[in-house]
Amino acid sequence: MQERSSERPVVLEARELIKDYPKLRAVDGVSISLRAGICFGLLGPNGAGKTTTIEMLEGVTTPTSGAVLFRGQPAGDEFRARSGIQFQATALQDFLKVSEVLSLFRNLYDQQGALAEIIELTEIGEFLDRETDKLSGGQRQRMLLAVALVNDPEVLFLDEPTTGLDPQARRAFWEMVHRLKKRGKTIVMTTHYMEEAYELCDEIAIMDRGRIIARGEPDALLQEHFQTTTLVLPRAAVAGREALLASSPVFGHDGTVVRETDSQVEIQTLQINAVLGELLRLQRDLSQLQVRSPTLDDLFLRLTGRELRE
């Protein structure tokens, strides 16, 4: 029987982390508790404080106040030996081949992962003899993931791991993360791709202006914040928002919001049956009707009043 995540031990804990820079509080009292084997995502727009937070968890940045605990103890040498990190931008020494970089970093640890397994998991076997500056973006990210795995880490940090990758490379990277999850790794990642967080993360925390403003499982958060259903129609099918509102009081009813873009009209409503019935009664063309579920982008917009990528 599979162990429930709530029964697993807490691996990593952050208590009231604060990070001040001159004239700026980048992180303002963040507390996180991560159980073993989950994939945790920190989401937020640029400047929300997620990279500073993950760097404090990694031990790269010292918090102004607060503490990071690994298995209940202040994170120190043992944590450094038992964690793997893929930075948002990782620089390596020039002129080294992929195999040499792996060997270099592997030898820095007492406990080492099985090299063949790491190579197979990250699919870097075909370019082991290539110098690192001659890799494509996707190949480089796979190699950096391999470097982060050389010590068979308990906790793996991935800071915006797919930023700048094409969709195919991003999907391939997601597959690797899925494989790592199956092996029971605890993963902490930041991303501003909501579909990535939804695909990979068991738990997310949304950050804005240095604070966590929502936290939980992605579906649970969406259900908590969205009871509405969104109908999307071509603008021509309903003659635009104003015409639709004027055609029936159902569309201006409490619990129903109508939005308009250049080509579409969105009807967000709690009364899906009434709205659909009214559209049929008015004999609108519903041949291109789409029903859209709320996304994490919608959630962020609702929570902060700002678009995620602002």
Binding residues for another protein, per CB under 8 A?
58-60, 77, 80-81, 83, 85, 87, 89-96, 100, 103-105, 107-110
| Smallest distance from another protein to CB 107, Å | 4
Q: Which is nearer to another protein, 2 or 93 (CB)?
A: 93
Question: Smallest distance from the beta carbon of 94 to another protein, in angstroms?
Answer: 6
Cβ closest to another protein, residue 1 vs residue 91? 91
In the block, residue with structure tokens 């068979």: 152
Query: In angstroms, rounded to a whole number, what is the distance separating the alpha carbons of residues 14 and 90?
Result: 24
Distances from the Cα of 142 to the Cα of 95, 208, 243, 289, angstroms: 18, 29, 52, 40
Query: In Å, how far are 9, 64, 103, 174 from 125, measured between CA atoms?
Result: 35, 42, 14, 18
User: If DSSP codes are grouped into helix, strand and coil, which group holds residue 252?
Assistant: helix
Q: Please report where in the chains the tokens 């009081």 appear, as a residue.
A: 249
| Terminal Cα-to-Cα distance of the chain (whole angstroms) | 44
In whole angstroms, the minimum distance from the beta carbon of 106 to another protein comes to: 8
Is 54 or 299 the residue whose CB approaches another protein more closely? 54
Record the tokens describing residue 219, joined without a space.
Answer: 């579906």
Four-residue CA torsion sign, 264, 269, 273, 278: negative
3-state secondary structure of 52: helix
**Beta carbon of residue 179, minimum distance to another protein (angstroms, whole number):** 23
Nearer to another protein, 90 or 295 (CB): 90
- Residue 77 CA to residue 51 CA, distance in Å, equals 22
Q: Which is nearer to another protein, 42 or 275 (CB)?
A: 42
Neighbouring residues of 191: CB distance < 8 A, sequence distance ≥ 6:
41, 43, 160, 161, 162, 163, 197
| CB of residue 270 to another protein, shortest distance in Å | 48
For residues 74 and 178, give the distance between their C-alpha atoms in angstroms, rounded to a whole number. 29
Minimum CB distance to another protein smaller for 78 or for 242: 78
Cβ 99 to another protein shortest distance, Å: 11
For residue 164, the minimal CB distance to another protein (Å) is 16
Of the two residues 105 and 193, which places its CB atom closer to another protein in the complex? 105
